[in-house]
Amino acid sequence: MLKKTFFALLAVLLLLVLVMIINTSRLGNTQMEAGEIQPVEWDREAMLERFSESITFKTVSHENPADIDSLAFRRFLDFIEESFPQVHERLDRSMVNELTPVYHWQGSEPGLEPILLLGHYDVVPVDSTDIDGWEYAPYSGTVTDVHVWGRGTMDNKNNVMGLLESAEYLLSHGYEPRRSIYFAFGHDEEIGGQQGAKAVADQFEQQGIRLHFVLDEGGVVMQENPLVDLPVALVGVAEKGYVSMELVVRTQGGHSSQPPNDTAISILSEAIIRVNQNQMPARLEGATEMMFDSIADKMPFANRLIYANRWLLGGVLNNALLDNTATAAMIRTTSAPTMLRAGVKDNVLPSEAHAVVNFRILPGDTVDDIKAHLNRVIDDERIIIREYQTIYTPPTEISPVDTQVFESLQQTIMDRFGDVYVIPYLVIGATDARHFFGVTDHSYRFSPIFMEEDGLSRIHGSNERILIDSYLGSIDFYTVLIERMTN
Q: Over the stretch 259-277, which tens digit does the pLDDT of each residue have?
A: 999 999 999 999 999 999 9
Residue 236 near residue 427 (C-beta atoms within 8 A): yes
Cα 398 to chain centroid distance, Å, stands at: 13
pLDDT at 12: 59
| Separation CA 343–CA 349 (nearest Å) | 7
Position 379: which residue type?
A: D
Residue 118 near residue 198 (C-beta atoms within 8 A): no
User: Is 183 in a helix, a strand, or coil?
Assistant: strand
pLDDT at 16: 56
Q: Tell me the C-alpha to C-alpha distance, in Å, between residue 114 and each of 106, 183, 193, 212.
A: 9, 10, 22, 6
Per-residue tens of pLDDT for the chain, all 487 residues? 666 665 556 665 655 565 556 665 666 677 778 888 888 888 999 999 999 999 999 999 998 999 999 999 999 999 999 999 999 999 999 999 999 999 999 999 999 999 999 999 999 999 888 888 999 999 999 999 999 999 999 999 999 999 999 999 999 999 999 999 999 999 999 999 999 999 999 999 999 999 999 999 999 999 877 778 889 999 999 999 999 999 999 999 888 998 999 999 999 999 999 999 999 999 999 999 999 988 888 888 888 888 888 888 888 989 989 998 888 999 999 999 999 999 999 999 999 999 999 999 999 999 999 999 999 999 999 999 999 987 788 999 999 999 999 999 999 999 999 989 999 999 998 999 999 999 999 999 999 999 998 898 899 999 999 999 999 999 999 999 999 999 9
Q: Is the dihedral of CA 147, 150, 156, 157 positive or negative?
A: negative
Residue 356 near residue 245 (C-beta atoms within 8 A): yes
Strand partners, 356: 246, 339
Closest to 122 measured CA to CA, from 200, 186, 77: 186
| Separation CA 398–CA 360 (nearest Å) | 16
DSSP state of 137: -
Residue 220 near residue 420 (C-beta atoms within 8 A): no
Residues 6+ apart with CB under 8 A from 39: 472, 476
- Exposed/middle/buried for residue 111 (C-beta within 10 Å: 0-12, 13-18, 19+): exposed
Closest to 426 measured CA to CA, from 206, 190, 236: 236
pLDDT at 254: 87
Active-site option among 155, 165, 189, 464? 189
Residues 6+ apart with CB under 8 A from 28: 297
What φ, ψ does residue 369 adopt, rounded to 5°?
-60, -40
| Separation CA 63–CA 75 (nearest Å) | 21
Cα 80 to chain centroid distance, Å, stands at: 26
Residues 6+ apart with CB under 8 A from 415: 34, 35, 36, 37, 480
Residue 369, number of CB atoms within 10 A of its CB: 16
Active site residue 352: no
| Separation CA 459–CA 132 (nearest Å) | 17
Residue 173, number of CB atoms within 10 A of its CB: 12
Position 134: which residue type?
A: W
| Separation CA 237–CA 243 (nearest Å) | 20
pLDDT at 20: 59
Closest to 248 measured CA to CA, from 281, 232, 229, 272: 272
Q: Is the dihedral of CA 280, 425, 148, 163 positive or negative?
A: negative
Q: Tell me the C-alpha to C-alpha distance, in Å, between residue 294 and each of 54, 181, 235, 401.
A: 37, 30, 11, 10
Active site residue 165: no
Closest to 403 measured CA to CA, from 485, 479, 348, 339: 485
The domains located in the chain, with CATH, are: 1-29+282-286+297-330 (no CATH), 44-230+398-486 (3.40.630.10), 241-279+332-394 (3.30.70.360)
pLDDT at 3: 63
pLDDT at 128: 84
Active-site option among 122, 216, 365, 432? 122
Q: How many helices (H) and strands (E) does the chain have?
A: 15, 16
